[in-house]
Structure 1
Amino acid sequence: MRIDPVRLKLKELLDANARFDLAARGTTNHCPMALLALAEMGASAERLQAFFDRWEREYALRAPPVDVVIAREDWSEHLGNAAAFGALRVFFLEWITEVGSVPVIVAVLNDVPFAPATQAFHALIRLAYGIEAAHSGEIASGLAALVCSHLPVDLQFDPSRAAESVEAGFEHVIDAMGGGAVEGSSITSRLRVVASDVRFRQAVLAPPASTCLLDDLARATIAAYWRSRNFTILHTVTATHAARILFAQLPGEMAKRLLPGLWGAMCAAYVTVGRQVGVGMDVVPESEVSWSDVRRLAVAADDDHVIKMAYTCLCEYRRQPSAVYLATAARLVGLDLGQR
């Protein structure tokens, strides 16, 4: 059987990524997520290596040595302990090696509150991409990030006060919070402000009664990003896709139980942005751009957010074709819509 050199290189680089810290210079460690997206969009082994080398040279921080051993019964005591990332990663990796990834994911999400807003949604995205890559180390890293950087959006929903739609739910809570953007130096800091605001907790509605809330969230978030080009809203698009990957691994009832947590985190993210006056076009233009054009330029890109967002658009388009995904990805990579 022929061994795929791209898959071999991806595994090699995801293994090597373990020497990087959770944080990076001015950001978080996006490298493993971008590598998976590049590989899935057709990047060569050489391109993966070049991206990794550039990330290591310009952004990566060396992971501190792990000098703490976490016992099986003690891991949840490190909830919110940012310094425990390395030790938690080692612990989760050993546990996954012993029993497999799905039992560990289920156990973690059963024992700690689901907090998809953690690390501005990056912990969720990293976990999902680790699942997609079938890479135990990255699954362990995603779980460790969810635990050590835990950012809960603690809400109690009244079923009698449910949003009529995803969009209506977002608008309702933005209205209740005054419609303005939240001040803060980062997405995470702004999310923390909203999550701790009693007005937000009182105003947010229960998720709309829908048999396909995840699909509704996907449609609403991509439409909002197309109109606004807002960086925070971009993260809600990639996070919704990541949640789809994660939930597919879980028992159906568990995924259903976790969905309100995703809804609450999304509402918080939209409140941080405030009421957006669309800078893009409401109507998606007819485009002769092809996905092969988009993939080629996305693979050549160095911006990790462009890479991940283009990949998300490609995946969601394959699942449920919509012109807005192609138009959004084309705009991200600099293609002139309407022209080949």
Structure 2
Amino acid sequence: MTHVQAHTFALAPWLELNLRQFPLEYGDQLSSHLPMALHALHSLGADEARMAAFFNSYGRRFEGMAAPSPAAPPQDWLSLWGDWSAYSALRCYFDLALAAEGRDVLLRRVLPELLPGVSAVAFHGAIRLAHALEGGHIGELAAALAYWASRWQQLPAPLVHSGVEPLSLSAWSERLVASASTWRSEAPLIFLRMMEASARPVFAELVWAAPSPAPTLLARVAELASLALGYYLHSANFTVLHMITGLRAVRVLGPWLPQDAQFQASAQAVLTQAFVAAYLAGRVQRREAPVDQLGLSWPALAKQASLSDDDHTIKLVHACQEEWAVYGDARYLQAAAFALR
């Protein structure tokens, strides 16, 4: 992590309190951002009083709701993936597996199974897991794995190849942006719109026209991250925001994914499909991008974000700061300022 201020308090107690008190979703299948935002706030330099204020404010979303009760672990966790009612059993499974195998061994075993469902609940399974890894809290790590597994959902790949030749990255991006204006979904949740998009001919055409695989998954992640950043600067779109944070999550998880060529290529295909579906689902309205970078600095943006009550803004500014440290793209400064405007 970058530009992290020294703290005299730990993040872990806040994550533990969240796990004891609150469920993983609220409202109509809305993912709780509380543990992710707590980690982002801590990384951005929020003090303990600010953490407490945010925790108490966000906690009101769960009024009348309780944290899930424990349940017996399954013999085979894969038999329960995609089964939301099995979250507690899966949480117990991952608690025990982490204790028995350790973090790295477990992640290398289960991430290849989870990654094909990266689009589940609008990327929040992967996003929560990435924050849990960086936050270093073992209980939150188990909860994030169980959440992703219980909400696991894979986009259907196009069945028939259209014969379209792969485009260059820039040409493909232009076609994606143009094609998105020809279809619109009114479904209320991002992942529902993504599923609708994946059934449309325009989805198949864009998937088959996607650029040839990059040398590695993380190279393709970098390419898609650059595109998503540009899309956000031209739209401030809510779904594109999740594309940025979702791609950051895959980058964070990269070291625990198989490095063999076959997996790397198949993972790129999955990620490309999710990227196309998300952009189509975004109902993006493009406009001129902000161009002024003068006077922008990460310390000032981090301080402003740490005072925000908007969980999505907090997470995006944190993601932009982290991605800037990796890629060195100054547009991340613009995107963070854009989110805070």
TM-score normalised per structure 2: 0.86
TM superposition shift of 1:206:
5.8
- Determine which of 186, 191, 194 is the counterpart of 1:188: 191
Amino acid in the other structure paired with 2:123? F
TM superposition shift of 1:321:
2.3
Say whether the 8 Å CA contact 1:151–1:192 is kept in structure 2.
Answer: no
1:278 corresponds in structure 2 to 286
Query: C-alpha offsets along residues 313-334 of structure 1, whole Å, 9 cap, x if unaligned?
Result: 1111112222311111112223
Distance in 2, matches of 1:123 and 1:284, equals 33
Distance in 1, matches of 2:178 and 2:227, equals 18
Say whether the 8 Å CA contact 2:120–2:153 is kept in structure 1.
Answer: yes
Secondary structure of 1:21's counterpart equals coil
Amino acid in the other structure paired with 1:39? H
Query: C-alpha offsets along residues 254-300 of structure 1, whole Å, 9 cap, x if unaligned?
Result: 455423211111111111135x442242x622321221110111001
Residue 162 in structure 1 maps to residue 163 in structure 2 = no
1:107 corresponds in structure 2 to 109
- Determine which of 296, 314, 322 is the counterpart of 2:321: 314
1:13 corresponds in structure 2 to 14
Say whether the 8 Å CA contact 2:104–2:256 is kept in structure 1.
Answer: yes
- Determine which of 26, 35, 43 is the counterpart of 1:40: 43
TM superposition shift of 1:232:
0.5
Would the alpha carbon gap of residues 280 and 141 (structure 1) be closer, same or farther in structure 2, given more than 3 Å must change? farther
TM superposition shift of 1:18:
1.4
Would the alpha carbon gap of residues 295 and 83 (structure 1) be closer, same or farther in structure 2, given more than 3 Å must change? same
TM superposition shift of 1:130:
0.9
TM superposition shift of 1:170:
4.7
Distance in 2, matches of 1:247 and 1:260, equals 15
Residue 118 in structure 1 maps to residue 117 in structure 2 = no
TM superposition shift of 1:43:
1.4
Would the alpha carbon gap of residues 143 and 255 (structure 1) be closer, same or farther in structure 2, given more than 3 Å must change? farther
Say whether the 8 Å CA contact 2:321–2:333 is kept in structure 1.
Answer: yes
Query: C-alpha offsets along residues 117-139 of structure 1, whole Å, 9 cap, x if unaligned?
Result: 11111111001111111222222
2:85 corresponds in structure 1 to 83
Secondary structure of 1:80's counterpart equals coil
Equivalenced residue count is 326
Would the alpha carbon gap of residues 301 and 176 (structure 1) be closer, same or farther in structure 2, given more than 3 Å must change? closer
Please list, as runs of the form range in 1=range in 2, the aligned pairs for 1:63-82 lying within 5 A after superposition: 63-66=67-70, 68-72=71-75, 74-82=76-84
Q: Which consecutive residues of structure 2, in runs of 5 or more, have no partner in the other structure?
A: none
- Determine which of 242, 247, 264 is the counterpart of 2:273: 264
2:302 corresponds in structure 1 to 295
Residue 55 in structure 1 maps to residue 51 in structure 2 = no
TM superposition shift of 1:28:
1.4
Amino acid in the other structure paired with 2:334? A
Q: Which consecutive residues of structure 1, in runs of 5 or more, have no partner in the other structure?
A: 335-340
Q: Using CA pairs below 8 Å that are at least 6 residues apart, which structure has the higher relative contact order?
A: 2
1:223 corresponds in structure 2 to 230
Amino acid in the other structure paired with 2:312? H
Amino acid in the other structure paired with 1:305? H
TM-score normalised per structure 1: 0.86
Distance in 2, matches of 1:135 and 1:71, equals 23
Distance in 2, matches of 1:185 and 1:13, equals 31
Identity, % of aligned positions: 29
Amino acid in the other structure paired with 2:309? D
1:338 corresponds in structure 2 to none
Query: C-alpha offsets along residues 174-227 of structure 1, whole Å, 9 cap, x if unaligned?
Result: 666762322211112211212344653455226423332111111100100000
Secondary structure of 1:189's counterpart equals helix
Distance in 2, matches of 1:316 and 1:15, equals 27
Distance in 2, matches of 1:89 and 1:161, equals 44
1:97 corresponds in structure 2 to 99
Distance in 2, matches of 1:145 and 1:331, equals 31
RMSD of aligned residue pairs (Cα, Å): 2.6
Secondary structure of 2:25's counterpart equals strand
TM superposition shift of 1:107:
2.0
TM superposition shift of 1:14:
1.0
Distance in 1, matches of 2:134 and 2:210, equals 27
2:252 corresponds in structure 1 to 245
Say whether the 8 Å CA contact 1:169–1:205 is kept in structure 2.
Answer: no
